[in-house]
C-alpha cells in the first residue's frame, strides 16, 4: 500500500471512524518503511459532513458527476462565445442535475447511517455547483478527498469557513489519469479528422502542450519541495518537543530530590538544635555545681 491508496481508503471510511482509521493506515505505511507517507497521512484533516458526502458521491456516482462536469464545460464554452441562448438552454439542466445529485446523495448517506440536515444538503449542492463552474474544483471533487465543502463566490472557490480553498493538489499519477480520461472522452465525442489539421497547427498545439506539461512539472516539483521542507520542519519540531519533555522530566526528578534533601536537612537541623540546647543546659548546670564547691 502506498500513500495514495492509503488516502483513498481513509476518505472512503465512515466519518466517525476517520481518526482511528488514519492512525491504523499511518502505522501500516510506517511499517512498510514509508515514513514520509505515514507523516503525510497523519497530516490529513477529517472531512466535514458535507465534504464527506461529496466524497461519497464521487465514489458512488462517478458517471453522474462526469455529466455534471461535462455540463460545466458546455457552460464555459457558451460563456466564452457570448451565446446567451445556449446559456438559457443549459441553466435548467444545471439545476436538474444538481437536484438529482443532491437527492441521490441523501439516499447514499441514509444507507451509511448518516443524517443529512438541510444545511448539509445546501453545502453539498454548493460544492457540486462549484465543481461545475470551476475546473479545479471539479477535479478536487472527483478526487474524493475533500475536507471541507466548497462554494463559488464569483472570484474563486472558498471552503466552509469562507477562506480561499486550494483545490488543485493532485498527484502526478492521478493528474495523468484525469487527463487521459478527458482526452478519451473528448476523442469519443468529437473524433476530429487528423488529416484536416495542418502541420503548422499541429506543431503549435504540440508545443503548447509541452509548455503546459513543463509548467505543471515545475509547479509540482516546487510544491513537493515545499511539502518536504514542511515535513522536515514538523519532524524537527517533534524532536525538539521530545527533548524538552525529557529535560522537563529530569528537572522534575531533580526538584523532587532537592525537596527531599531540604526536608532531611531540616530534620537534621532540628535535631542539632535540640542537642545544642541540651548541651548548653548541661553546661549551665555544671557551672552551677562548680561554683557551689
The residues near 158 (Cβ < 8 Å, ≥ 6 apart) are: 150, 151, 164, 165
- Say how far apart CA 260 and CA 265 lie, in whole Å: 9
- Say how far apart CA 59 and CA 44 lie, in whole Å: 19
At 126 the three-state DSSP class reads: helix
The residues near 157 (Cβ < 8 Å, ≥ 6 apart) are: 130, 134, 136, 137, 150, 151, 164, 165, 167
pLDDT at 279: 85
- Say how far apart CA 194 and CA 214 lie, in whole Å: 25
The DSSP call for residue 158 is E
The DSSP call for residue 215 is H
Which grid coordinates belong to 203? 506543431
The Cα-based distances of 275 to 32, 266, 270 in angstroms read 70, 14, 9
- Report yes or no: 10 and 22 within 8 Å, Cβ to Cβ: yes
> What count of residues does the chain have?
293
Burial of 29 (0-12, 13-18, 19+ CB in 10 A): buried
Q: Could you state, in chain order, the average pLDDT of each consecutive group of 10 residues for the chain (293 residues)?
A: 90 89 93 92 92 94 92 89 88 93 93 91 94 91 92 69 54 54 61 57 78 76 69 69 75 82 85 86 83 78
- Say how far apart CA 212 and CA 218 lie, in whole Å: 10
- Say how far apart CA 9 and CA 1 lie, in whole Å: 10
pLDDT at 168: 42
Which grid coordinates belong to 225? 519541495
The residues near 235 (Cβ < 8 Å, ≥ 6 apart) are: 39
The DSSP call for residue 151 is E
- Give the torsion sign (CA, 93, 98, 103, 105): positive
- Say how far apart CA 252 and CA 246 lie, in whole Å: 10
Which grid coordinates belong to 146? 475533500
H, E, C per residue of 263-278? HHHHHHHHHHHHHHHH
The Cα-based distances of 137 to 79, 188, 226 in angstroms read 18, 24, 22
pLDDT at 50: 93
Amino acid at each position: 500500500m502506498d500513500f495514495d491508496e492509503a488516502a483513498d481508503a481513509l476518505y472512503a471510511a465512515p466519518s466517525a471512524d476517520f481518526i482511528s482509521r488514519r492512525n491504523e493506515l499511518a502505522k501500516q505505511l510506517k511499517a512498510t518503511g514509508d515514513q514520509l507517507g505515514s507523516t503525510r497521512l497523519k497530516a490529513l484533516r477529517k472531512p466535514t459532513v458535507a465534504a464527506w458526502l461529496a466524497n461519497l458521491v464521487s465514489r458512488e456516482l462517478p458517471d453522474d458527476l462526469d455529466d455534471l462536469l461535462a455540463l460545466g464545460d458546455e457552460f464555459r464554452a457558451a460563456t466564452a462565445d457570448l451565446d446567451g441562448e445556449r446559456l438559457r438552454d443549459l441553466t435548467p439542466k444545471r439545476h436538474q442535475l444538481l437536484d438529482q445529485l443532491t437527492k441521490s446523495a441523501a439516499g447514499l448517506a441514509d444507507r451509511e447511517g448518516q443524517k443529512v440536515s438541510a444545511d448539509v444538503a445546501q453545502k453539498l449542492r454548493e460544492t457540486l455547483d462549484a465543481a461545475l463552474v470551476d475546473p479545479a474544483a471539479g477535479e478536487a471533487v472527483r478526487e474524493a478527498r475533500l475536507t471541507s465543502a466548497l462554494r463559488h463566490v464569483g472570484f474563486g472557490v472558498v471552503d466552509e469557513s469562507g477562506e480561499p480553498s486550494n483545490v488543485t493538489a493532485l498527484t502526478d499519477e492521478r493528474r495523468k489519469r484525469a487527463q487521459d480520461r478527458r482526452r478519451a472522452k473528448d476523442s469519443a465525442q468529437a473524433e476530429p479528422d487528423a488529416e484536416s489539421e495542418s502541420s503548422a497547427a499541429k506543431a503549435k498545439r504540440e508545443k503548447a502542450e509541452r509548455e503546459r506539461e513543463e509548467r505543471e512539472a515545475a509547479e509540482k516539483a516546487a510544491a513537493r519541495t515545499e511539502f518536504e521542507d514542511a515535513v522536515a520542519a514538523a519532524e524537527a519540531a517533534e524532536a525538539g518537543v521530545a527533548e524538552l519533555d525529557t529535560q522537563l522530566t529530569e528537572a522534575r526528578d531533580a526538584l523532587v530530590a532537592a525537596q527531599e534533601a531540604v526536608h532531611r536537612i531540616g530534620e537534621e537541623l532540628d535535631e542539632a538544635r535540640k542537642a545544642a540546647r541540651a548541651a548548653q543546659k548541661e553546661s549551665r548546670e555544671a557551672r552551677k555545681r562548680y561554683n557551689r564547691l
